Structure 1
């Protein structure tokens, strides 16, 4: 009888532990295992890091295209690399690193309905796992509003800004091929960048756009508006590697010395 109760206690304890781990590892199960933590001495950051994840397309539209022109086969194209970047920042600095994540919610709500999966709660699980600030946005102007007024910029400057999403050379296409096939109904255009308060940024702020073609024009307008250089792609970017988007050859990053010539 004693043996029976001892084994019963062990079984119950194992079940409780399993439930606990399944909750804490929810984000890892969805997006892959966490990056290994660095053992080197961590730096301290004097500012806030802003990461923006634009919206994704619906499959009902993209399936009408030829396969080589289709976008967003996986719903997490712009979520997984943002999560990886959060891990990198926390490894480089510390777990108290000030990170704010702006995500365009409407596209993930509609894709969740299409896929039949709880995408919103999965995104929120990343917030909970890494203890970061998640702000849902619904229009391009929300990005500028947060840059200018998200915090008291006399006390908390922006140390980094990164964009993951669709774009062209003149705009971040915050929504793309979700409402109308191959079109954007929500964007942040380069002409709007002049509304940014340039004093919001630290002088050595690290700004990067992982959207297609933004190095051809928008990055120049970003520097003019903010005084900060933006690393961006001349040509298309590829999110096949969920940990770090790359530039598709013959394209290149605008901080390299290559020269890109478009085919006529």
Structure 2
């Protein structure tokens, strides 16, 4: 059995790490380069970096910050936000990232997934999914809808159907973020995570809602996720990565030891 991954997430706005609740009321909390280095030294398995306003502002990702982060950590590094073309993907990889996360652009132009997979390999292409529970509708049979542009635009696309389509197009991994749970620290959206995990054959990273180590244990077992994204619980020093991993290990969940 593969080890479960613990992945700190750095949401970046105007060059600063920021944190909000349900994608709103963001507060700047630190320098992404310093924070990435800190989490790397603490034993993070990967780092995720999102330029959270690039898509909405229709601008390119901040490659200078990506380069500075890549120079200071030596673990896999995934970058998303404002990536609209294969050239954007190439630039991010050349800046030092190992993976590219496509979200809004992939919803608007699904071919970018297959184009990226063909150019760089599926292992480099992560589908970011921002999902909101809206109840079952005619075109949203699972009850979960895809939302893009940082939670601003509802797309009328069923989350489960989109995950399956993205896998078929060549996505190598899914980072699944529940807008409802984001920043609430009350636990991941287990029903959503299990729904996606059970219906795709690629790794699923659960995102949104971590507050205590028990929440990670739940999503990695009941939610059947392959990895868990964390933010508030480590950004505000409520827990260290070592404490989280020790808890998971003591509860029979295999993790890479720090």
Q: TM-score range by the shorter chain?
A: 0.3 to 0.5
Q: Structure 2 length as normaliser, TM-score?
A: 0.38
Q: Indicate the structure (1 or 2) with the bigger Cα radius of gyration.
A: 1
Select the structure that is richer in strand: 2
